Amino acid sequence: MKWLLALVAVVSLTSSAHAEDRVKARKMFESGRQHFDLSEFKQALDDFKEAYRNYEEPSILFNIAQCHRQLGAKEEAVRFYRVYLAKLPNVANRVQVEDAIAKLERAITDERSARISQPHDTLAANPGNASVIVVAPTPPPPPSPVYKRWYFWTPIVVGVVGIGLGVGLGLGLKPSPQSAQTALGTFPF
Protein backbone atom coordinates (compact mmCIF):
# COMPACT_ATOMS: atom_id res chain seq x y z
CA MET A 1 0.00 0.00 0.00
CA LYS A 2 2.84 2.38 0.82
CA TRP A 3 4.46 1.78 -2.53
CA LEU A 4 1.18 2.62 -4.27
CA LEU A 5 1.01 5.94 -2.44
CA ALA A 6 4.65 6.63 -3.38
CA LEU A 7 3.91 5.83 -7.02
CA VAL A 8 0.88 8.16 -7.04
CA ALA A 9 3.00 10.92 -5.47
CA VAL A 10 5.77 10.51 -8.07
CA VAL A 11 3.29 10.54 -10.96
CA SER A 12 1.51 13.63 -9.64
CA LEU A 13 4.82 15.46 -9.09
CA THR A 14 5.99 14.54 -12.58
CA SER A 15 2.77 15.71 -14.20
CA SER A 16 2.75 18.99 -12.27
CA ALA A 17 6.43 19.57 -13.16
CA HIS A 18 5.60 18.76 -16.78
CA ALA A 19 2.72 21.27 -16.74
CA GLU A 20 4.97 23.95 -15.20
CA ASP A 21 7.58 23.29 -17.89
CA ARG A 22 4.95 23.70 -20.57
CA VAL A 23 3.84 27.04 -19.09
CA LYS A 24 7.47 28.18 -18.94
CA ALA A 25 7.97 27.03 -22.53
CA ARG A 26 4.88 28.97 -23.65
CA LYS A 27 6.25 32.17 -22.01
CA MET A 28 9.67 31.72 -23.64
CA PHE A 29 8.01 30.98 -26.98
CA GLU A 30 5.94 34.18 -26.80
CA SER A 31 9.04 36.17 -25.88
CA GLY A 32 10.90 34.61 -28.81
CA ARG A 33 8.06 35.43 -31.19
CA GLN A 34 8.11 39.06 -30.06
CA HIS A 35 11.87 39.28 -30.55
CA PHE A 36 11.51 37.68 -33.98
CA ASP A 37 8.80 40.17 -34.99
CA LEU A 38 11.16 42.99 -33.95
CA SER A 39 14.04 41.48 -36.00
CA GLU A 40 15.95 40.71 -32.81
CA PHE A 41 16.93 37.30 -34.11
CA LYS A 42 19.67 36.45 -31.59
CA GLN A 43 17.35 37.07 -28.63
CA ALA A 44 14.55 35.19 -30.40
CA LEU A 45 16.88 32.25 -30.98
CA ASP A 46 17.84 32.14 -27.30
CA ASP A 47 14.18 32.25 -26.22
CA PHE A 48 13.07 29.58 -28.70
CA LYS A 49 15.88 27.28 -27.55
CA GLU A 50 14.88 27.77 -23.93
CA ALA A 51 11.25 27.06 -24.83
CA TYR A 52 12.31 23.81 -26.54
CA ARG A 53 14.41 22.81 -23.52
CA ASN A 54 11.36 23.22 -21.29
CA TYR A 55 8.93 21.48 -23.63
CA GLU A 56 10.06 19.47 -26.64
CA GLU A 57 7.50 20.66 -29.14
CA PRO A 58 8.93 19.93 -32.64
CA SER A 59 7.31 23.00 -34.18
CA ILE A 60 9.68 25.15 -32.08
CA LEU A 61 12.55 23.68 -34.12
CA PHE A 62 11.15 25.43 -37.19
CA ASN A 63 11.39 28.77 -35.38
CA ILE A 64 14.96 27.99 -34.30
CA ALA A 65 15.84 27.24 -37.94
CA GLN A 66 14.23 30.51 -39.04
CA CYS A 67 16.35 32.46 -36.54
CA HIS A 68 19.54 30.78 -37.76
CA ARG A 69 18.58 31.58 -41.35
CA GLN A 70 17.98 35.24 -40.48
CA LEU A 71 21.33 35.39 -38.66
CA GLY A 72 23.14 34.03 -41.73
CA ALA A 73 24.02 30.69 -40.08
CA LYS A 74 22.95 28.68 -43.12
CA GLU A 75 24.36 25.31 -42.06
CA GLU A 76 22.68 25.54 -38.64
CA ALA A 77 19.40 26.53 -40.28
CA VAL A 78 19.55 23.51 -42.59
CA ARG A 79 20.31 21.23 -39.64
CA PHE A 80 17.30 22.49 -37.62
CA TYR A 81 14.97 22.39 -40.64
CA ARG A 82 15.96 18.73 -41.17
CA VAL A 83 15.36 17.84 -37.50
CA TYR A 84 11.99 19.59 -37.71
CA LEU A 85 11.00 17.54 -40.77
CA ALA A 86 12.29 14.33 -39.16
CA LYS A 87 10.15 14.87 -36.07
CA LEU A 88 7.09 16.01 -38.04
CA PRO A 89 7.25 14.10 -41.37
CA ASN A 90 3.69 14.96 -42.42
CA VAL A 91 3.77 18.66 -41.55
CA ALA A 92 1.74 21.02 -43.77
CA ASN A 93 4.65 23.29 -44.72
CA ARG A 94 6.98 20.44 -45.73
CA VAL A 95 7.34 21.61 -49.35
CA GLN A 96 8.22 25.16 -48.28
CA VAL A 97 10.76 23.86 -45.76
CA GLU A 98 12.34 21.57 -48.36
CA ASP A 99 12.58 24.55 -50.76
CA ALA A 100 14.26 26.62 -48.04
CA ILE A 101 16.73 23.78 -47.40
CA ALA A 102 17.54 23.54 -51.12
CA LYS A 103 18.14 27.31 -51.40
CA LEU A 104 20.34 27.34 -48.31
CA GLU A 105 22.37 24.37 -49.53
CA ARG A 106 22.92 26.08 -52.91
CA ALA A 107 24.07 29.23 -51.10
CA ILE A 108 26.44 27.19 -48.91
CA THR A 109 27.88 25.47 -52.00
CA ASP A 110 28.31 28.81 -53.80
CA GLU A 111 30.09 30.32 -50.78
CA ARG A 112 32.44 27.35 -50.56
CA SER A 113 33.19 27.57 -54.29
CA ALA A 114 33.87 31.29 -54.00
CA ARG A 115 36.28 30.70 -51.10
CA ILE A 116 38.14 28.02 -53.05
CA SER A 117 38.45 30.09 -56.24
CA GLN A 118 39.28 33.33 -54.41
CA PRO A 119 42.72 34.81 -55.28
CA HIS A 120 45.32 34.45 -52.56
CA ASP A 121 46.05 38.15 -52.13
CA THR A 122 42.49 39.17 -51.25
CA LEU A 123 40.71 38.93 -47.95
CA ALA A 124 37.49 37.01 -47.44
CA ALA A 125 34.39 39.08 -46.75
CA ASN A 126 32.32 38.48 -43.67
CA PRO A 127 29.71 35.83 -44.58
CA GLY A 128 27.23 37.18 -42.01
CA ASN A 129 24.72 39.98 -42.50
CA ALA A 130 27.15 42.78 -41.66
CA SER A 131 28.51 44.74 -44.60
CA VAL A 132 32.27 44.71 -44.73
CA ILE A 133 34.43 46.51 -47.23
CA VAL A 134 37.42 44.35 -48.01
CA VAL A 135 40.56 45.96 -49.36
CA ALA A 136 43.20 43.74 -50.83
CA PRO A 137 46.77 44.75 -50.10
CA THR A 138 48.25 46.76 -52.95
CA PRO A 139 51.25 45.21 -54.63
CA PRO A 140 54.53 47.11 -54.38
CA PRO A 141 55.29 49.36 -57.33
CA PRO A 142 57.44 47.80 -60.03
CA PRO A 143 61.12 48.69 -59.78
CA SER A 144 62.19 51.64 -61.90
CA PRO A 145 64.11 50.76 -65.08
CA VAL A 146 67.92 50.83 -65.01
CA TYR A 147 68.15 53.93 -67.20
CA LYS A 148 66.31 55.89 -64.47
CA ARG A 149 68.85 55.04 -61.79
CA TRP A 150 71.81 57.23 -60.78
CA TYR A 151 74.38 54.50 -61.05
CA PHE A 152 73.55 54.03 -64.73
CA TRP A 153 74.07 57.66 -65.71
CA THR A 154 77.04 58.56 -63.48
CA PRO A 155 79.73 56.70 -65.49
CA ILE A 156 78.22 57.91 -68.75
CA VAL A 157 78.26 61.54 -67.62
CA VAL A 158 81.80 61.19 -66.24
CA GLY A 159 82.91 59.59 -69.50
CA VAL A 160 81.30 62.25 -71.69
CA VAL A 161 82.70 65.03 -69.53
CA GLY A 162 86.14 63.38 -69.56
CA ILE A 163 86.11 62.99 -73.33
CA GLY A 164 84.86 66.55 -73.77
CA LEU A 165 87.52 67.86 -71.45
CA GLY A 166 90.21 65.86 -73.23
CA VAL A 167 89.12 67.04 -76.66
CA GLY A 168 88.75 70.59 -75.43
CA LEU A 169 92.17 70.64 -73.78
CA GLY A 170 93.75 68.91 -76.74
CA LEU A 171 92.37 71.45 -79.16
CA GLY A 172 92.95 74.38 -76.87
CA LEU A 173 96.56 73.59 -76.10
CA LYS A 174 97.53 72.68 -79.66
CA PRO A 175 99.33 75.51 -81.38
CA SER A 176 97.48 77.00 -84.25
CA PRO A 177 99.03 76.18 -87.63
CA GLN A 178 99.62 79.81 -88.64
CA SER A 179 101.41 80.95 -85.52
CA ALA A 180 103.36 77.74 -85.23
CA GLN A 181 105.46 78.35 -88.35
CA THR A 182 107.97 81.06 -88.65
CA ALA A 183 109.36 82.60 -91.77
CA LEU A 184 112.24 80.17 -91.63
CA GLY A 185 109.92 77.19 -91.40
CA THR A 186 110.69 76.36 -87.80
CA PHE A 187 108.46 76.34 -84.80
CA PRO A 188 108.95 78.84 -82.03
CA PHE A 189 110.25 77.65 -78.73
Q: What is the pLDDT of residues 25-45, one digit of tens each?
A: 999 999 999 999 999 999 999
Residue 168: count other Cβ atoms within 10 Å of its Cβ. 10
C-alpha–C-alpha distance, residues 107 and 175, integer Å: 93
CA distance 1 to 108: 62
Q: Can you give the pLDDT of all 189 residues of the chain as single tens digits?
A: 554 444 344 444 444 445 678 899 999 999 999 999 999 999 999 999 999 999 999 999 999 999 999 999 999 999 999 999 999 999 999 999 999 999 999 999 988 888 887 665 555 555 555 555 555 566 777 777 777 777 777 888 888 888 877 777 777 676 655 555 555 555 554
Is residue 172 assigned to a domain?
A: no
- Looking at residue 188, its amino acid is P
Report d(CA 53, CA 45) in Å as an integer. Answer: 12
The answer to the question of residue 134 being in a domain is: no
Kindly report the CATH number assigned to the domain that includes residue 76. Answer: 1.25.40.10
Residue 128 lies in a domain: no
pTM score, whole prediction: 0.54
Is residue 24 in some structural domain? yes
Q: Is residue 70 part of a domain?
A: yes
The dihedral region occupied by 149, where left means phi > 0, alpha psi between -120 and 50, and beta the remainder, is beta
182 in a structural domain: no
Please indicate, yes or no, if residue 155 is contained in any of the structural domains: no
pLDDT computed for residue 168 by the predictor: 73
Number of domains the chain contains: 1
Domain membership flag for residue 130: no
**Containing structural domain, residue 46:** 2-117
Helices (H) and strands (E) in the chain, counts: 7, 0
